[in-house]
Structure 1
Amino acid sequence: MKQKLSGILTLLLALVVQISFAQESRQVTGTVTDGDGLPLPGVNILVKGTQRGTQTDFDGNYNILVSPSDILVFSYVGFETIERPVGTSTRIDATLTPDASELEEVVVMGYVTRGKNELTGSSVQVSGEQIAEVPVVSADQALQGRVAGLQISTSSGTPGAVQDVRIRGISSLSASNEPLYVIDGVPVINSNIAGSNSSSSLSPLASINSQDIESMTVLKDASATAAYGARGTNGVIVITTKRGRSGEVRFDFNSSIGIQNDAYNKRRVLTGPERLELTKEALVNAYGADYGFTMENALQLGVDFRVLPAAILDYDGSVYDWDNLIKNEDALLQNYTFAASGGTELGSFYASVGYNKTEATVIGADFERINGSLSVERQFRDNVDFSTSLNVSHSTQNPILERGTFFSNPFITRYLMNPLNNPFNEDGTPTTDLTFGSLHNTLYVTANDINVNALTRLISNSKVDWELIDNVTFSNRFSMDFQLNDYKSYLNRYEGSAAPVNGWSERSTEQNFNFVYQGSLGYKFQLGTDHNFDVMGLFEYQKNQNNYLYGYGENFPADGLTNLENASANLDAFSSYADWYNVSYLALLNYNFARKYVLDATFRREGSSRFAEGNRFGNFGSVGAAWNLHMEDFLIDSAFSSLRLRASYGITGNSGIGLNEYQALLSYSADYDDNGGATPSQFGNPDLTWEKGEAFDVGVSFGLFEDRLSGSFSYYNRRTYDLLQAVPLSLTTGFDEQSRNVGEMVNKGIEAELSYMVVDTGDFSWLVSANYATVDNEVTELALGSDGNPINPNSSSSYKTTEVGLPVGAWYMRTWAGVDPQTGEPTWYVNGVDGEVTSSYSAAQRVYQGASALPTYSGGFSTRVTYKGFFADANLYFAGGHKIYEQYAQFYMNVNSFTLGSYNGVSELLERWQQPGDITDVPKLNYANGRSFQSTSSRHLFEGDYVRLRNVAVGYSLPTQYADAIGVDGLTISLRGTNVATWVKEDGLKLDPEVQAIGYTSLTTPPVESYTLGVNLKF
């Protein structure tokens, strides 16, 4: 009876409370948006202190029953939680602002993502916004100056060309030094795919629209890269493409259009009259005393003695500006991207189409790309998620002959074309009968030859995540990367290399297929309240196949015929097939205690078909630790918003050598009386195995005053051993070299990053940041020869040496001592250092010139200012501590007939020695003299230090309230300049200082200076 009475009283009390609540309660509605004014679906809304709540719908709307005294709590992943009292309101709209600390913590590592406080390795993540704003064809160029320890050099300014990228220097003598590229968690191939055209390059990375990139992460030390085993030894660049997010469909249109020219070129060539005057002087100095040459009769006597062509007497003094004729002034660049994204609580999508057209700064070369991407994520069940992405592009590059001394190379024309040549016929068309020299008329060749590199690329990436039980996920990823290159070249019948054979044509097709499967099992769990574990086991299988087909033919019967079927002579064909496999077993462990103390361990067993069966597998791994001091009680109330110590150690490998180098091979390309035959082609080495790298890294990162001031400092030491080298063999073996594992080198240095928000008042902000890195490279062991001495891999080079105790490829040559002011003769130091000089080139000693081609320091500086929608930013890049050799100076700075008779010289020759007492760096002209002045010496070796203003921009972003008024979500207009200024340390360096890693200036398209107008519209 008592129990029944108690139950009745409880029911009556609940009814009273309900009635009371109903009398005071009411419906409150509203919409929740993000900082850009866009609706946020799925936001959790709770009545503080109760379990009552709701979520926003697809359009960010909600409806909830509350009482006046209630407080609503709005929370959403990645955004700051806010509270709103109900009071008398019937509608409460809320705007959630992104939680900067949370957003910055997630770092994409490729296989996994880690919170910033969970990392023990060295990595830097660059946002997609920073990448997209730089108007470059290949996205890796946008990283220059933004990542400490990352050195990017433009090997060619031709749009789409491969770039030289080094992370923490060079670690191998003959194996690859390129980083590994990972796109959406899958390793891809990024080698030059320019078909049979060895004079240019085409980067597969140029096929990806930078507007479709969400972020790029540079992994540098063993803890960060060990998960990739041997392929990560030179660092890893992880590219994450954009995905959709829940919400109504959003559209994004980006466009940029601009112009570009050469960024830096201070070389001026001689005009016709200048060169003629120097030719006279050179003839008088050579023959005057014996044959009566004077400045007045030098040309006539030169013709009489058959030293000069007779046509030189007909030259009328006209100036033909070949330099400007080969330029494409104000080359047009344009890029357009239209994207859409959206989704529901069950899935999302991102789709885009893009078009890029970029002209080169030299005639005859441009780049065009059309691309499309689609990414879909879908929740099949509560425990099954599916995602797939597809990126398709077709790129067309019109390359030029620029990676060598080709007579049709436009840059050979710029510097070496005899300036007495008239480029045109009387009717204004380019002539095919140049009077002087042997160079081709590039104007005619460019207009009548065909050179096309077409790359079609398809990347497909699909993943299924199946949560077997709570926090245990079984993932399967399938990725295919298909690259199809079609190269065609036709050289005309009248001018150029093919004129003697009445025109020739070549065609090649290269197909590269890369397949990757990854299967992983991940488990996240917690023991007690403080022990947090994240473990993963992964199996990876990678297969790469390459097919190549080439055809060639000569003698075309008529103009307009350019295909191989029209050729009638010397038809030839070639084909090849190559494949390789990688199989890997990976274990990852990440543990933290109360988020304060972090332990990270990686083990990878990797097998490669590049080695013999008994040596195919290598074991690699790393261990790292971090201490989040800012979470300790004694620092919680301090000025430190973050303070972390970290250290890591690991072993990585390198298998970046040619296929089948371990095998003894026969070549079946012999032809004996039209019968095939075999010849030995490779000695082989079944003991060949992985090149290995042992890396140690320690660092500290910090944030002060809520990260208003933040930065990091690290020290690294990487020892590479079992170097893959080509070791000379006794010729009695029938071979001259064999690949072996022998030798060792060390790279060590420091890296520092600093960022400071100088002013932040809401309406006005000013942010500055900088990074700086050093790398000290030293060879510590080399293979020994039969005499017991180390073998110099650069022993045949007249420019470089590689010796124990020196950097790889150290500059090694005679030392220039200047021009003798009394005689005008060139001189060099006898001992290679100082003191006694000699005019006999062979009597001077070669010595180490104190540097190599590798920069020993590099870095960047950035600043950004904003004020009520207006913004201005700039960043610069610098590098130095290395030297650069101007290799082509031997052609255009000779003081004899080679330059002043056959080709052309540069304006420095006007400063030549003429009489005793002259102080100059250019010797006496002598038409008949030898070329020792131009032989390899420090005369043309320059300090490579330079600073480049990489980007500068001003713009305006329309505030949200004004954007809403015109019916759009956002509008930004910007004007941006790229490579707008360059400073070099040494005035004698007249060509662009941003050169390939080998350290030579070259006659190729230099980096470009561009100015673009960009418009971004969101709706």
Structure 2
Amino acid sequence: MKFDLLVKLKLRTCFLAVTCFLSFSAIQAQTKSVKGVVSADGEPMIGATIIVKGTSTGTQTDFDGNYTIKVKTGGVLVFKYIGFLSKEIVVGKSSTINVSLVEDTTNLDEIIVIGYGTQKKKEVTGAVVQVSNEAISKIGTADLGAALQGLIAGVNVTASSGAPGADSNILIRGLSSVTGNSSPLYVVDGIPFASDPKLSMSEIETIDVLKDAASASIYGTRGSGGVILITTKKGKVGQMKISANQYYGLQSITSGVPTVNVEESLYIRFLAAASQPNGTTYGNTWTPIEYDRYSLTNETYLQPKIENDYAPVQNYGLSISGGSKGLTYNVVGSFFSQDGTIINSGYDRANIRANTQFEKGNWKISTGLGFRIEEQSYAPWNIITTALKYQPYQSDIDPNADIIDNAGPGNSVETQNLSNTAALFKQTDKRNGERLDGSINAVYKISDHFNFTTRAGVSYNNDTRVRINPLFTAYDEDGNVIPQQTRSGVYNQSIRATSQTLENVIDYSQSFGDHNVKAVVAYSSEKYTYSTFAAQKFDLISNDVTVLNGATLDPSATSGTGWGQDRTNSLIGMIGRLQYNYKGKYLFSASIRRDGSSRFSKANRWGTFPSVTAGWNVSDENWFEPVKDIVSSLKFRAGLGTTGNQSFLDYSNAATIKLANDYVFGTEGDDNLALGATQEAFANKNVKWETSEQLNLGFDLSFLRNSFKLTGDFYQTNKKDMLMPLLLPPTTGASGGTNETVVLNVGDMENTGYEFALNYSHRGVESGFNWNLGGTFSQNTNVVSKMSGSNKIAFLPGSQVVLGVPNEDLVSVLAEGYEAGAFFVIKTDGIIRTEEELIEYQTIQPTARLGDLRYIDYNNDNTISNADRQYAGSGTPEFEIGLNMSFDYKGFDFYMQWYSAQGGEIINGTKAYAYKHGTHKDLVYQWTPQNPTSNIPTNRGRDHENYRGYTDFWIQDGSFIRLRTVNIGYTVPNEYFGDLNITKFRVFLAAQNPLTITEYDGYDPEVGNSNFSSRGIDKGNYPISSQFRIGIQLDF
């Protein structure tokens, strides 16, 4: 009995305990409504999936990233979005759960644009690299080339000039042509552009670069320099989104050429006088003070006067996008303005682009319309070298004046040049341009496997340029007018260019079990027209009347000149491509393009450009599974492709004639002047396509769930039948300029190189600390393997080091066995310091004296001539390195990029020019009997052999390391804005080119040029500036 009671009490106790537990659990597990916002990098995510773990209950976010879901307390919500890491959160007491997702670095389904189609990154077999808008926006530049510098292995970018609006020079895998155009082809939304399309960075969604010939051969003759495929931003389904950005900054020149003051200048001239055999200077018996008695009262330095310190740079952007199912839109507008750091220079650009996409039934139609207005002001001609040679004891120049009194003695060379120098300060050279481009892309889905695409594009470009050389009057000390050596005048030019593109494409895609096949056939037609007219007149009547008719000429002078030119060229291409893969593991692609160009004669008009590539995703093999925790993916790639080149002037295959070469017709006494015509240029009907065959071997490797990624490529390019204009002898009667040349297939060239790109990405899902470290390495070796004919070396026009010297001073060459643009100079062997050295050297150069440079008689013929020139490197770097690092934490973000070019040489032409004119500070320490250990040759006047540009005395190491970009920002949390609908507000500070490490003592070691013959030759190039900016980014 007692036992039964005890048992009953225990059972009741257990029952009460269980009841209490179950009641508590029921309270805990009751269903409630949870809401929140799903975002990524502060942006709402449309269509993100939220699922209650272990159930079929789920929902998606709306246009603003909002969601609402019923879930039991203690349940687990799983947040998912394609391309991002999933996130699981246990539901607690709070009814609001906001989630931020991070990108999944293991995602290999990234879509790459490959030309006439797209492809999953995992299936790409060529050397193709994609750069996002996020990456290029961090650089903060209006120039596409500058934005890409150091980001892509194998893409060499050098600044042709630091001038506002100047394009960078882009070489993909080395020099692709010796005819002057090695630039890549630009393709914007499927439409090819002949040059940089000058888009604002806010218009661009992605940039895909086709580096190897196998990938670029789909563009045939246009792909020899590589291809840059630009995809512009498109609208997305959802509520209207407005984004705005703005920055303002200041620029300055951080380096220069050291020049002398008045005392040092007079000292150098006295030394020059003392060093002359007859004790005179420059052929005059006057000392500098006697020559110009005002020399001690002046203190003039023109370098600071031509520089514009703290020049402003600013950018404004606004975009509006959105749409509904079936119709989306994106409109981007921007304005960029940059004042030059050199006087009278600047660049303003306004861009607007509208993209729409319409889908209904089997049709998908996309349109794009872009409009650009530019105003570019160029710095006065040779203003940097003019400032370098200006003596500090000369009269000061007022940039706002039209006259100058007491300029000095009238028989002084410096005085006679003064009016020309002063006029440069008021010279204006302005270009205004408008460009309109439009495209339409219509895709019709024929069936589940076939699509038909027709694409048309038109662009219209109109440029006008006006250069005004102002009237300037200088009076000598006696009040006489000093003639202006460069005549005042007006130059007007108008250029109109149009392009038309039409393409029809049929693509096929189907899977047969594990076998996947894609095929493309296409037809492409392109037409380009170019028309220009220019006129020039001299002798302005006043600087207030600067129109063409405001210039009048001396009656005895020839009247103004005018000329024009019209050109047209066309291209037709037929394209085919087949792609195959088995389970995405074994990859194969083959393409062929047949191009016809109007630039060739009928016999050689057509060229055929095939390619084949293969790849193997090793990591997809079953036997690879044991190591996948360490090696996430491994792919090998191989490709062989051919591209063509037709980069020479239109009508070079036809002899041209010129009118207005009059002649006398008739017998003596009854003769008349008749209108005549002569052959102006010669032709080569046998000129044929220049072709490039390239082998590419590469791999893609990733570790630790793709946190580490390494890509490597080796390539070898064999260029055959190089096109090059060769100079004709005067006996041919060619009329001059480009007409003195004829285009020939002159030889072969090879490019060999290695490329590596390494990236590490860490996503701190729990800590919120994310960081990324990336690096690139590129090495390219170029060699001219064959020169046709008996002449194995050709000096390149335009490669003089010092301005105003004859063609005998050319230094860049095409020579068999050396890189294109190699420097061939006369080498030096120090200074002649002793009488013994002088006597020995005078057997080679009888006029030599103590303190002169000693040149090496390379061919031992006891004379110094061009035959003594030797190889001395080139302006092309041996290798390049790019390094970038970024991190973000709780709204703070930081980005830094370094770039380095190592091993290239620079010929310091600015230094040579300052030596030549006796203004470089080094000359204070020149060799004299009292300073016998100096390595600086004695100053003997501007025309002495000591200062000729074709020697190695001016060659310096051009290696440098540059901190290109630093960007620090903070994104304000959205909750601070309440109901203002602000989804992102970021403020930032940025610096561009704040630090350069180099041993080069010129303006800047980044010496590029649009013509490879002048690469590495510093002739007073517009210097690159440092920038410091502050800006904001705002999204609604």
TM-score by length of 1: 0.86
Structure 1 residues 907 and 568 mapped into 2: Cα distance closer, same or farther (>3 Å)?
closer
Shift in Å, 1:438: 4.0
Structure 1 residues 762 and 591 mapped into 2: Cα distance closer, same or farther (>3 Å)?
farther
Residue pairs, 1:266-305, within 5 angstroms: 267-286=257-276, 305=285
Q: Which residue of 2 aligns with 1:333?
A: 313
Equivalent of 2:372, from 372, 390, 393?
393
Equivalent of 1:508, from 466, 478, 493?
493
Shift in Å, 1:624: 0.7
Structure 1 residues 867 and 441 mapped into 2: Cα distance closer, same or farther (>3 Å)?
farther
Partners in 2 of 1:458 and 1:428 — Cα distance? 40
Spell out, residue by residue over 1:431-454, the C-alpha distance to the aligned partner (whole angstroms, 9 max, x if none). 377433444568853564432101
Structure 1 residues 338 and 487 mapped into 2: Cα distance closer, same or farther (>3 Å)?
same
Q: Contact 1:963–1:971 at 8 Å: present in 2 too?
A: no
Spell out, residue by residue over 1:964-991, the C-alpha distance to the aligned partner (whole angstroms, 9 max, x if none). 687521122221111111122x455565
Spell out, residue by residue over 1:218-241, the C-alpha distance to the aligned partner (whole angstroms, 9 max, x if none). 221012211111111111122222
Equivalent of 1:884, from 885, 901, 906?
906
Shift in Å, 1:841: 4.5
Structure 1 residues 999 and 125 mapped into 2: Cα distance closer, same or farther (>3 Å)?
same
Spell out, residue by residue over 1:634-686, the C-alpha distance to the aligned partner (whole angstroms, 9 max, x if none). 22342122211101001111111111111122222534577542211222122
Partners in 2 of 1:596 and 1:274 — Cα distance? 74
Shift in Å, 1:829: 5.0
Residue pairs, 1:183-582, within 5 angstroms: 183-190=188-195, 205=197, 207-265=198-256, 267-286=257-276, 305=285, 312-379=292-359, 381-402=360-381, 409-424=382-397, 431=404, 434-435=407-408, 436-440=414-418, 444-445=422-423, 448-494=426-472, 503-528=488-513, 530-569=514-553, 570-582=559-571
Further displaced range: 254-263 or 689-698? 254-263
Partners in 2 of 1:500 and 1:280 — Cα distance? 28
Q: Which residue of 2 aligns with 1:810?
A: 822
Equivalent of 1:1005, from 991, 1005, 1022?
1022
Shift in Å, 1:583: 0.8
Q: What secondary structure, in the 3-state scheme, does the structure 1 residue paired with 2:292 have?
A: helix
Structure 1 residues 169 and 963 mapped into 2: Cα distance closer, same or farther (>3 Å)?
farther
Partners in 1 of 2:1030 and 2:92 — Cα distance? 50
Further displaced range: 84-93 or 530-539? 84-93
Q: Which residue of 1 aligns with 2:852?
A: 826
Structure 1 residues 285 and 329 mapped into 2: Cα distance closer, same or farther (>3 Å)?
same
Q: Which residue of 2 aligns with 1:1015?
A: 1032
Structure 1 residues 538 and 628 mapped into 2: Cα distance closer, same or farther (>3 Å)?
same
Q: Which residue of 1 aligns with 2:685?
A: 686
| 2:652 counterpart of 1:667 | no
Q: Over aligned residues, Cα RMSD in angstroms?
A: 3.5
Q: What secondary structure, in the 3-state scheme, does the structure 2 residue paired with 1:281 have?
A: helix
Q: Which residue of 1 aligns with 2:639?
A: 648
Q: Which residue of 2 aligns with 1:197?
A: none
Shift in Å, 1:77: 4.6
Further displaced range: 682-691 or 36-45? 36-45
For structure 2, list consecutive stretches of 5 or more residues without a partner in the other structure. Answer: 1-28, 409-413, 475-481, 554-558, 665-672, 735-739, 798-807, 836-849
Partners in 2 of 1:468 and 1:774 — Cα distance? 47
Shift in Å, 1:557: 3.7
Shift in Å, 1:558: 4.0
Q: What secondary structure, in the 3-state scheme, does the structure 2 residue paired with 1:707 have?
A: coil
Structure 1 residues 541 and 44 mapped into 2: Cα distance closer, same or farther (>3 Å)?
farther
Structure 1 residues 308 and 321 mapped into 2: Cα distance closer, same or farther (>3 Å)?
closer
Q: What secondary structure, in the 3-state scheme, does the structure 2 residue paired with 1:684 have?
A: coil
Q: What secondary structure, in the 3-state scheme, does the structure 2 residue paired with 1:146 have?
A: coil
Partners in 2 of 1:271 and 1:690 — Cα distance? 57
| 2:722 counterpart of 1:709 | no
Q: What secondary structure, in the 3-state scheme, does the structure 2 residue paired with 1:34 have?
A: strand
Q: Contact 2:882–2:899 at 8 Å: present in 1 too?
A: yes
Shift in Å, 1:725: 2.8
| 2:960 counterpart of 1:951 | no
Shift in Å, 1:826: 2.6
Structure 1 residues 370 and 843 mapped into 2: Cα distance closer, same or farther (>3 Å)?
closer
Further displaced range: 627-636 or 114-123? 627-636
Partners in 2 of 1:775 and 1:510 — Cα distance? 37
Q: Contact 1:717–1:748 at 8 Å: present in 2 too?
A: yes
User: Aligned residues: percent identity?
Assistant: 26
Q: Which residue of 2 aligns with 1:624?
A: 613
Spell out, residue by residue over 1:466-507, the C-alpha distance to the aligned partner (whole angstroms, 9 max, x if none). 111113211111111211101112222225999579742121
Structure 1 residues 670 and 77 mapped into 2: Cα distance closer, same or farther (>3 Å)?
farther
Structure 1 residues 447 and 160 mapped into 2: Cα distance closer, same or farther (>3 Å)?
same
Q: Which residue of 2 aligns with 1:784?
A: 789
Shift in Å, 1:718: 0.3
Structure 1 residues 731 and 468 mapped into 2: Cα distance closer, same or farther (>3 Å)?
same
Partners in 1 of 2:866 and 2:526 — Cα distance? 56
Spell out, residue by residue over 1:362-414, the C-alpha distance to the aligned partner (whole angstroms, 9 max, x if none). 111111112212111121x1321111111211110111234xxxxxx320232
Spell out, residue by residue over 1:709-731, the C-alpha distance to the aligned partner (whole angstroms, 9 max, x if none). 21111110000001113356677
Q: Contact 2:267–2:924 at 8 Å: present in 1 too?
A: no
Q: Contact 2:855–2:864 at 8 Å: present in 1 too?
A: no
Q: What secondary structure, in the 3-state scheme, does the structure 2 residue paired with 1:792 have?
A: strand
Partners in 2 of 1:498 and 1:862 — Cα distance? 56
Spell out, residue by residue over 1:870-905, the C-alpha distance to the aligned partner (whole angstroms, 9 max, x if none). 2222111111222221234443213xxxx24xxxx2
Shift in Å, 1:47: 8.7
Shift in Å, 1:995: 3.0
Partners in 2 of 1:959 and 1:656 — Cα distance? 53
Q: Contact 1:25–1:65 at 8 Å: present in 2 too?
A: no
Spell out, residue by residue over 1:108-165, the C-alpha distance to the aligned partner (whole angstroms, 9 max, x if none). 2343222111111112222112212223232221111111111111111111113222
For structure 1, list consecutive stretches of 5 or more residues without a partner in the other structure. Answer: 1-23, 191-203, 403-408
Q: Contact 2:851–2:928 at 8 Å: present in 1 too?
A: no
Shift in Å, 1:173: 2.5
Shift in Å, 1:1013: 0.9
Q: Contact 1:171–1:746 at 8 Å: present in 2 too?
A: no
Structure 1 residues 669 and 52 mapped into 2: Cα distance closer, same or farther (>3 Å)?
farther
Q: Which residue of 2 aligns with 1:845?
A: 868
Q: Which residue of 1 aligns with 2:602?
A: 613
Partners in 2 of 1:745 and 1:983 — Cα distance? 33
Shift in Å, 1:589: 2.0
Partners in 2 of 1:159 and 1:462 — Cα distance? 33
Q: Contact 2:911–2:1002 at 8 Å: present in 1 too?
A: no
Partners in 1 of 2:163 and 2:71 — Cα distance? 65
Q: Contact 1:211–1:337 at 8 Å: present in 2 too?
A: yes
Q: Which residue of 1 aligns with 2:926?
A: 912
Give the letter aligned to residue 233 of structure 2. K
Q: Which residue of 2 aligns with 1:634?
A: 623
Q: What secondary structure, in the 3-state scheme, does the structure 2 residue paired with 1:231 have?
A: helix
Further displaced range: 534-543 or 124-133? 124-133
Q: How many residues align?
A: 947
Partners in 2 of 1:933 and 1:791 — Cα distance? 25
Partners in 1 of 2:64 and 2:141 — Cα distance? 37
Q: Which residue of 2 aligns with 1:171?
A: 176
Q: What secondary structure, in the 3-state scheme, does the structure 2 residue paired with 1:893 have?
A: helix
Shift in Å, 1:956: 1.6
Q: Which residue of 1 aligns with 2:882?
A: 860
Partners in 2 of 1:561 and 1:485 — Cα distance? 22
Q: Which residue of 2 aligns with 1:3?
A: none
Q: Which residue of 1 aligns with 2:1008?
A: 995
Shift in Å, 1:1018: 1.3
Partners in 2 of 1:448 and 1:875 — Cα distance? 39
Equivalent of 1:769, from 753, 774, 797?
774
